[in-house]
C-alpha cells in the first residue's frame, strides 16, 4: 500500500478552543439581540453613505438600471465597511462598538481581511433570516456567516 493522501476527505482539525472551553477570560458570547441592534445601526450607516453616493446615478424616471447601481454601490460600501471595521484594531463595526462587541477567530485572535470578506459575502446569501436566526438557537450563538468564516462575536466585559 502506498503512502498517499486521500484528497477526497477533508483534513481533520481539532475543535476550536472557544468551542471547547468557552470564550477567553473577560469575554462572553455576544447576546443575539445586541448583535441585531448593532446590525441595524451598521445598516443605517451603510445605507446613508450608499444613498448619498448614489444620488448622481439616480434619474428622475425610476428604472431597473438605477436600482441595480444603487444596490451595487451599497454592496461595495458594505464590503469595505465590514472588512475594514472588523479587521481594525477595534475589531468591530461602529454598531458593534456601541455594545462592546468584537469579532474574533476560533482562537480568540483578531480576524484577517480574507476572513472578514468571507464573513461579509456570506451575509449576501439569501437565507430569509434563517442564517441570522441561527444564533438564537445555537449554544455558541453563531450566525451562518460566523460558522462559514470560523468566527465568534464576543462581548468585552
Instruction: Look at residue 55 and tell me if it is in a domain.
Output: yes
Domain contains 8: no
Measured CA to CA, the distance from residue 86 to residue 43 in angstroms comes to 15
Does residue 106 lie in a domain region? yes
Tell whether 17 is covered by a domain: no
pLDDT of residue 20: 63
12 lies in a domain? no
Specify the pTM. 0.77
pLDDT score recorded for residue 21: 62
What pLDDT is attached to residue 19? 65
Please check whether residue 2 lies inside any domain of the structure.
Answer: no
DSSP 87-148: TSTT-S-HHHHHTTEEEEETTSPBPPHHHHHHHHHHHTS--TTHHHHHHHH-TT---HHHHH
Is 145 domain-assigned?
A: yes
pLDDT in tens, the chain (157 residues): 455 555 555 565 556 667 666 677 788 889 989 999 999 999 999 999 988 888 777 766 665 556 778 888 889 999 999 999 999 999 999 999 999 999 998 888 899 999 999 999 888 887 777 877 888 888 888 888 888 888 999 998 8
In the chain, how many domains are there?
1
CB count within 10 Å of CB 135 equals: 23
Is 137 inside a domain boundary? yes
Q: What domain range includes position 31?
A: 24-156
Amino acid at each position: 500500500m502506498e503512502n498517499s493522501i486521500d484528497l477526497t476527505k477533508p483534513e481533520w482539525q481539532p475543535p476550536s478552543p472557544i468551542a471547547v472551553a468557552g470564550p477567553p477570560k473577560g469575554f462572553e458570547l455576544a447576546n443575539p439581540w445586541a448583535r441585531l441592534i448593532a446590525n441595524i445601526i451598521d445598516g443605517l450607516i451603510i445605507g446613508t453613505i450608499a444613498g448619498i453616493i448614489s444620488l448622481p446615478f439616480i434619474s428622475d424616471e425610476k428604472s431597473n438600471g438605477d436600482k441595480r447601481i444603487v444596490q451595487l454601490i451599497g454592496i461595495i460600501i458594505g464590503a469595505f465597511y465590514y472588512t475594514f471595521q472588523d479587521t481594525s484594531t477595534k475589531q468591530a463595526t461602529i454598531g458593534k462598538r456601541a455594545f462592546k462587541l468584537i469579532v474574533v477567530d476560533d482562537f480568540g485572535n483578531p480576524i484577517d481581511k480574507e476572513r472578514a470578506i468571507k464573513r461579509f459575502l456570506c451575509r449576501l446569501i439569501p437565507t430569509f433570516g434563517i442564517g441570522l436566526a441561527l444564533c438564537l438557537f445555537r449554544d455558541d450563538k453563531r450566525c451562518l456567516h460566523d460558522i462559514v468564516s470560523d468566527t465568534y462575536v464576543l462581548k468585552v466585559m
